[in-house]
Amino acid sequence: MPRPDDRKPRRRRNDRRGRRGSTHSTDGSRQRRRRGRGGDVREEIVRLGGAKGARYYDQLMKAADAYSRDHERDALRLLRPLRDALPESPSVRELMGLAQYRLGHYPAATKELEAFVELSSSVEQHPVLMDCYRAQRRWRKVDACWRELTAASPGADVVTEGRIVAAGALADRGRLDEAIALLTRADKRVSKPKPYNLRLWYALADLEERAGNVPRARALFDRVRREDAGFADVAERLAGLR
């Protein structure tokens, strides 16, 4: 379950054009092992799997390794029989949902991540689930997940990822001013920016450019570039605004 802080800016796998005017979330897609869950996951799988629990756990770890190496189809091949054997396992449903998401299989990812939420009561994958809903234009679901995420307030990294998706969904509906306002509320100068700060600045710069606020977009892209010149296509975006 890749970690939230392992995320990187992503393009949907079936949309590598990275078209401007599409403020995507970040799957960091390196997504995201939940912190400190190693022992908990083993205990969960062994408990649910009974006599076969240890073997199921080894298979889940192989699937997680395949996912971490960007071999999502191999991960799914290992996960499908696990999901059938352990349908009540939040860890299996979570990883299967993330693998489907990486492949751009949004309805399938939605099904697995909804099951994960129901089984775990966790909001940690809400940004990913929100982006699945967004891809399917299920706006009420995006908005509902965003409300749940802000109410739970699980951590700045996860909330920021959800904020980026929520803003993108507003922009998709033509509510560009609201999208900009949503991100601007979290736009804080920090002495040591974290990756999620850069992602928020980049997303906000994209929206400002779309709104015709070129000086503001340029300043934000430059802020990202000064922290990480190799971040996504920030150098290209900045050069295009000169």
- What integer pLDDT is reported at residue 22 of this predicted model? 45
**Higher-scoring residue by pLDDT: 13, 168:** 168
Give 214's contacts (C-beta < 8 A, 6+ positions apart).
208, 241
Query: Residue 1: pLDDT band by 50, 70, 90 thresholds?
Result: low
Q: Is residue 192 part of a domain?
A: no
- What integer pLDDT is reported at residue 38 of this predicted model? 58
Q: Is residue 224 part of a domain?
A: no
- What integer pLDDT is reported at residue 4 of this predicted model? 35
Tokens of 116: 């994960």
Report pLDDT digits (tens) over 157-202.
999 999 999 999 999 999 999 999 999 999 988 889 999 999 999 9
Give 116's contacts (C-beta < 8 A, 6+ positions apart).
90, 93, 94, 97, 122, 125
Q: Where are the alpha helices (DSSP H) in the chain?
A: 38-49, 53-68, 72-85, 90-102, 106-120, 126-135, 139-152, 156-172, 176-184, 195-210, 214-227, 234-239
Tokens of 94: 């979570």
Q: Is residue 137 part of a domain?
A: yes
What's the gap between Cα 214 and its chain centre? 27
Q: Is residue 227 part of a domain?
A: no
Cα(227)–Cα(157) distance, integer angstroms: 17
Residue percentage of the chain with pLDDT more than 70:
84
The pTM of this model reads 0.86
Domain region containing 159: 4-184
Q: Is residue 50 part of a domain?
A: yes
Q: Is residue 233 part of a domain?
A: no
- What integer pLDDT is reported at residue 194 of this predicted model? 95
Q: Domain tally for the chain?
A: 1
Q: Is residue 236 part of a domain?
A: no
Residue with tokens 């299920």: 138
CATH label of the domain that carries residue 126: 1.25.40.10
Report pLDDT digits (tens) over 53-75.
999 999 999 999 999 999 999 99
3-state secondary structure at position 30? coil
Q: Is residue 37 part of a domain?
A: yes
Of the candidate ranges 29-38, 108-117, 212-221, the one whose mean pLDDT is the lowest: 29-38
- What integer pLDDT is reported at residue 35 of this predicted model? 40
- What integer pLDDT is reported at residue 188 of this predicted model? 84
Please provide the average confidence, as pLDDT, over all residues in the chain.
Answer: 88
